[in-house]
Amino acid sequence: MRTVRNTVDTGRTVVCTIHQPSIDIFEAFDELLLMKRGGRVIYGGKGINGVPPIRDGYNPATWMLEVTTASVEEKIQADFAELYVTSKQYREVEDSIMSLSSPPQGSEPVCFDSTYAQGSLSQFQICLRKQMLVYWRSPRYNVVRLFYTMLAALILGTQFWGVGSKR
């Protein structure tokens, strides 16, 4: 998340989906979009009557999962998605989207020399290095793989021993 935060600090937009982040990770985000089952947005920056406020020191992600359930909606007789769609915040977000949908006057489209940041050989070397690290970090797994490979070779080798000379 530190890398994501550093990327955001360079002026880029980053979209993340995280399920129940810790408080530290939660605080790294500038904006939050909450959705309920079915993909309907329920985020509301202000409190909603009937929803208990978050307690001090309580994980915000856990709190949101608890207060945005269907049972809470039923208890307060409100649909969070409908509350959001009729909110001032929704209108502000929609206006912001409309204003940012078209590029500013005099700007040029972003163009890159190639599709990928690295060449094919460089990508191959990086992937190979990462794969080697994975294997060297788990020696017991490699020993078991080697044992099973030798066992399979021994079984198949004895099964087909001399078959080629009979033809």
Q: What is the pTM of this model?
A: 0.50
Strand partners, 36: 40
Q: How many CB atoms lie within 10 A of CB 68?
A: 19
Q: Is the pLDDT of residue 151 over 90?
A: yes
- In Å, how far are 119, 120, 131, 137 from 127, measured between CA atoms? 12, 11, 6, 15
At residue 88, the pLDDT reads: 84
Question: Residue type for 68, please?
Answer: T
d(CA 13, CA 83): 27
Q: Is the pLDDT of residue 122 over 90?
A: yes
Q: How many CB atoms lie within 10 A of CB 84?
A: 22
Handedness of CA 143, 144, 146, 151 (dihedral sign): positive
Range in 105-109, 144-148, 153-157 with the lowest mean pLDDT = 105-109
pLDDT digits (tens, 9 = 90+) for 27-82: 777 777 778 888 888 865 556 666 777 888 888 778 888 888 888 888 888 888 88
At residue 48, the pLDDT reads: 64
At residue 43, the pLDDT reads: 67
Q: Which two tokens stand for residue 37?
A: 């089952």
Tell me which of 21 and 154 has the higher pLDDT. Answer: 154
d(CA 25, CA 62): 13
At residue 47, the pLDDT reads: 62
- In Å, how far are 89, 102, 126 from 107, measured between CA atoms? 29, 10, 35
Q: Is the pLDDT of residue 165 over 80?
A: no
